[in-house]
Amino acid sequence: MADLTRSHFILSKSLKRYPHRNHEVLQAWDAADELILEHLNTSLSEVFQPQSRILILGDSFGALSCALSQNSEWGGIVTSYTDSFVAAEGARRNSHGQVQPLSTLTDIQGHYDLVLLKLPKNLSFLEDLLATISRHLRPGGSLVCGVMVKHQTPAIFDLIARFIGPTRTSLAQKKARLIFSELSKPGAQSRFPLQVHIEGFKAPFTHHSNLFSRERLDIGTRFFLEHLPQGKFETILDLGCANGIVGIAAKIRHPQALILFSDDSRMALLSAEKNFRTYFPNSDGDATFIWTNCFENQPSESVDLILCNPPFHQGTTVGDFIAHQMFKDSYKALKKGGLIRVIGNGHLHYPKTLERIFGSSRIVARSPKFTVVEAQKPGATGL
Quick: pLDDT tens for 102-161: 999 999 999 999 999 999 999 999 999 999 999 999 999 999 999 999 999 999 999 999
Same domain, 244 and 102: no
In-domain check, residue 305: yes
pLDDT (average), residues 185-213? 95
Question: Structure pTM?
Answer: 0.93
Separation CA 128–CA 208 (nearest Å): 9
CB atoms within 10 A of CB 97: 9
Same domain, 263 and 115: no
> What pLDDT is stored for residue 21 in this prediction?
84
- Asked whether residue 22 is domain-assigned, the answer is yes
Q: Which of 155, 154, 133 is nearest to 143 (CA)?
A: 133
As a whole number of angstroms, the distance between CA 208 and CA 255 comes to 26
Q: What pLDDT digit, counting tens, does each position of 298-327 carry?
A: 999 999 999 999 986 544 444 588 999 999
| pLDDT for the residue 17 | 93
Last residue of a domain, one of 148, 182, 216: 182
Phi-psi region of 250 (alpha: psi -120 to 50; beta: other; left: phi over 0): alpha
| Sequence-separated (6 or more) residues with CB below 8 Å from residue 152 | 177
Secondary structure of 320-373 in HEC code, one letter for each residue: CHHHHHHHHHHHHHEEEEEEEEEEEECCCCHHHHHHHHHCCCEEEEECCCEEEE
What pLDDT does 57 receive?
98
Residues spanned by the domain of 217: 194-376
Decide if 224 is inside a domain: yes
The pLDDT value recorded for residue 72 is 57
Phi, psi of 271, rounded to the nearest 5 degrees: -65, -45
Q: Residues 321-372: pLDDT tens digits?
A: 899 999 999 999 999 999 999 999 988 899 999 999 999 999 999 999 999 9
Task: Specify whether 18 is located in the same domain as 136.
Answer: yes
Q: CA triplet 227, 331, 350: central angle to 5 degrees?
A: 50
Q: How far apart are the first and last CA of the chain?
A: 65
d(CA 299, CA 131): 39
Domain endpoint, select from 182, 205, 239: 182
CATH of the domain at 125: 3.40.50.150
Segment 240-288, tens digit of pLDDT: 999 999 999 999 999 999 999 999 999 999 999 999 999 999 887 899 9
Looking at residue 283, its pLDDT comes to 82
Q: Has residue 90 been placed in a domain?
A: yes
Is the sign of the CA dihedral 155, 156, 157, 159 positive or negative?
A: positive
Final residue in a domain of this structure, among 150, 182, 214: 182
Backbone angles phi, psi at 8, to 5 degrees: -65, -45
Q: Which of 71, 69, 50, 56 shows the shortest CA–CA distance to 2? A: 71
**Domain-located, residue 87:** yes
The pLDDT of residue 68 is 87
pLDDT band at 375 (very low <50, low <70, confident <90, very high): very high
- Is the model more confident about 188 or about 217? 188
**Structural domain contains residue 188:** no
Give a yes or no: residue 381 inside a domain.
no
Which pLDDT tens digit goes with each residue over 15-44?
A: 899 998 888 888 899 999 999 998 988 876
Asked if residue 203 and residue 78 are part of one domain, the reply reads no
Are 198 and 76 within one domain?
no
d(CA 79, CA 99): 8
Do 287 and 346 lie in a common domain? yes
**pLDDT-based confidence at 383, cuts 50/70/90?**
very low
For strands 317-318 and 334-345, give the pairing.
unpaired
Domain co-membership, 140 together with 236: no
Would you tell me how many other CB atoms lie within 10 Å of the CB of residue 185? 17
276 and 327 co-located in one domain:
yes
Question: Do 257 and 124 reside in the same domain of the chain?
Answer: no
Same domain assignment for residues 252 and 229:
yes
Banded model confidence at residue 64, pLDDT cuts 50, 70, 90: very high
Counted domains in the chain? 2
Give domain status of residue 382, yes or no.
no
Percentage of the chain beyond pLDDT 90 is: 79
17 and 56 assigned to the same domain: yes
Is residue 301 located within the same domain as residue 356? Answer: yes
In which band, very low, low, confident or very high, does the pLDDT at 382 lie, cut at 50, 70 and 90? very low
Per-chain mean pLDDT for the chain: 91
Mean pLDDT of 166-189: 97
Q: Average of pLDDT values for 371-382?
A: 86
